[in-house]
Structure 1
Amino acid sequence: MSKLGNLGARLHRGEVGYDFIGNRKIWYGVSILITITAILGLAVRGLNMGIEFQGGAVFTTPKNMSASVATAEGYAQDASGHDAIVQKLGDGSLRIQVAGIDTADADRIKDTLAKDLKVDTEKINADLVGPSWGEQIANKAWQGLAIFMILVVIYLAIAFEWRMALAALVALIHDITITTGIYALVGFEVTPGTVIGLLTILGYSLYDTVVVFDSLKEQTKDITKQTKWTYSDVANRSINGTLVRSINTTVVALLPVAGLLFIGGGFLGAGMLNDISLSLFVGLAAGAYSSIFIATPLVADLKEREPQMKALRKRVLAKRAQGAAGQETAAARTGADATDDATPAVVGPREQSASRNRGGRGRPSGKRR
């Protein structure tokens, strides 16, 4: 943990970092590929809308039923003539959903199920949802989502600027498309709990995005008065500075949601937990991804199109080129000086001192006579 904390501090100070903005085309390509997959899932399989949105009945049997899910599904389809969804809950009871039936059909199906499952009719609980009510709920959900989007764009445009508002809107649409596409591919039922989960993850996605935007806004107040950093450079530093914080908050949020999804929904068989936990799990992960890899790089792309930022970029690149040329010149001079110091001096023949031969003039070498 201490290493992660040190890494976060170094990222915040700009000592280390990853070039998110420079590799933005890769992230755009990955997002487009995932989005296309989600759209194909929606087009081919479609959403499995719950009875709250299309009307129908829900039958709940007593606890500790011996009948299997497949057997109960066959009984329900034979009794209703419609497709049925059967879930076994944690207490052993069965939750049987049949869409597109009215009150008279519900009473008849209830009696038939009681005979097939060999239980008393009064022990089977039946909840009926009218089609008109379900359609009204669906319309209200779409209206609430549209109003939420409009308010978000207005707020971000006032608090920051319209480019950041547009980037945040694109990131939100990206998160919604991926989450609904996963629902279509997995086949989970869409219920009011799913809508609650979607609204929750949209708020969380905006939280991560606003944190990065706030840091970016603070660091680019007087950006045109310097020639060291471009807008993309500062945007990249903003992402790196908040990266560890975003990862920590996302992991902490995903852990309990994963518990709801895999333990509560998978092992305990709680249907409502499946509905809300899958949207939360997928949405939280997609929101963290979009705030780092989509929203901020898109803001940088939009800002770099401004004349002031184009001029700033030219000045920064010119200064960097000048500095690189100066470094090359200095390196060349240093290499030349090192070559001169390493050249050996030319040494001539060693001169003999005259005093060494003065005393022995005319005297041959060898023994003295």
Structure 2
Amino acid sequence: MITMKNMTKWRHAGSLLSCVFMLISIFFLSTKGLNFGLDFTGGMISEVKIDQSLTATEIQSKLEAALKQPVSVVAAGDPGEWVLRYAAPETLSDQPEIKTLLTGFSNHVEMINVSLVGPQVGQELAEQGGLAVLITLLVILGYLSMRFEWRLASGALLALVHDVVLLLGFFSITGMEFNLTVLAALLAVLGYSLNDSIIISDRIRELLKANVTLPIAELNNRAIVSTLSRTLITSGTTLISVGSLWLLGGEPLYGFSITMLIGIVAGTWSTMTIATIIPEMTKLNPQHYMPAVISDAP
């Protein structure tokens, strides 16, 4: 059982482990990069209607074998209607018609729509997505700077950076497709992790004002213990919902659910480690929240 006495050691060890994971993530991001999806790189998008007896897995496996590249197959709504996404060849003549490939295993093939998303549009989406993440971090930085003393604000902000870097590192290491759905989940994780960091920072600030003689390490331990039940309940219920999406949502929601799943775990972890270690390292103490003395001198 973890007691107040050795909780500080666990927090320090957890922060060290987080730093190691961040370095590994940065290494893979700088050497391997991300596997951007068609939303960012451009490609072919075909909406088709074929036999209702065929499943997404069957269609995907047959098309990937014929095209020799990954193919995304998403249900379009009505039974038998599918949206197919795949990379466009350098010249359209290098690739067989998708209708010809579908005819090979479907008796009924109707091409509803075929469109080409150029790399210029994909580049624009990538720039807008990166700008969205940057603006989000800047707004969070401004909010934390106004609400907390800079030592607490630095811990909360670094915890957010930790979560983003770990998620991007996971997608770089595994080679999973990074698309707009994953980007949306990444922004959602930022908001979720920020909420956790604000709660723990608020509790630390309250304890600093109420216990002027206790060291910051002891106050951090008390803050974690007092908010632990709330954190576990919130994270647990959210993980149940995300787990349901992962198991039942199918291929279209797989990237979103796995991003949320890792992000929630990483956010809870960083809130109890990095968000509390930084104030200790920067020597936060109760005097920083003592009211300023107003001189009576004229």
Q: TM-score, normalised by structure 2?
A: 0.81
Aligned to 2:225: 240
Name the residue aligned to 1:35.
Answer: 22
- Of 90-99 and 134-143, more deviation after overlay is shown by 90-99
1:70 and 2:43 equivalent?
no
Q: Which residue of 2 aligns with 1:360?
A: none
Indicate conservation of the 8 Å contact 1:56/1:100, yes or no: yes
2:34 counterpart of 1:47: yes
- Separation (CA, whole Å) in 2 of partners of 1:124 and 1:186: 34
Which residue of structure 2 aligns with residue 286 of structure 1? Answer: 266
Give the Å deviation of 1:182.
1.9
Task: Give the whole-Å Cα distance in 1 for the aligned partners of 2:256 and 2:274.
Answer: 25
Cα deviation 1:246-292 (Å, max 9, x = unaligned): 11100011101011012222xxxxx3211211111111111111111
Distance 1:97 1:285 in 2: 31
Between the two proteins, the alignment pairs up a number of residues equal to 281
Alignment correspondent of 2:147: 159
- Larger relative contact order (Cα-Cα within 8 Å, sequence gap ≥ 6): 2
Q: Is the 8 A contact 1:106 1:128 kept in 2?
A: no
CA distance in structure 1 between the aligned counterparts of 2:228 and 2:286, rounded to whole angstroms: 30
1:74-116 CA-partner distances (Å, limit 9, x unpaired): 2223xxxxx3325486978766432245896699633443444
Aligned residue for 2:137? Answer: 149
Alpha-carbon distance change, 134 to 48 in structure 1, aligned in 2, over 3 angstroms: same
TM-score, scaled relative to structure 1: 0.67
Question: What pairs up with 1:197-276 in 2 under 5 angstroms?
Answer: 197-221=185-209, 223-224=211-212, 227=213, 229-265=214-250, 271-276=251-256
Aligned-partner Cα distance in 1 for 2:81–2:4:
54
Q: 2:293 corresponds to which residue? A: none
Identity score, percent: 28
Tell me how far apart the structure 1 counterparts of residues 114 and 6 of structure 2 sit (CA, whole Å).
58
Q: Return closer, same or farther for 1:278/1:243 CA change in 2, 3 Å cut-off.
A: same
What secondary structure, in the 3-state scheme, does the structure 2 residue paired with 1:57 have?
Answer: strand
Instruction: Structure 2: give runs of 5+ residues left out of the alignment.
Output: 289-298
Contact persistence 2:59–2:73 (CA under 8 A): no
2:131 is matched by which residue type in structure 1? Q
Matches for 1:97-108 after TM superposition, within 5 Å: 97-101=85-89
Partner of 1:347: none
CA distance in 2, matches of 1:301, 1:69: 52
Which secondary structure state, in structure 2, belongs to the residue aligned with residue 221 of structure 1?
helix
- Equivalent residue letter for 1:186: T
Letter in 2 for 1:180: L
Pair 1:92–1:287, CA change in 2 (3 A): farther
Q: 8 Å contact 2:63–2:71 — kept in the other structure?
A: no
Alignment gaps of 5+ in structure 1:
1-10, 78-82, 266-270, 310-369
Equivalent pair of 2:89/2:95 in contact (CA under 8 Å): no
* Equivalent position of 2:173 in the other structure: 185
- The 5 A counterparts of 1:332-347 are none
Corresponding residue to 2:116 among 117, 128, 134: 128
RMSD of the TM alignment (CA)?
Answer: 3.2
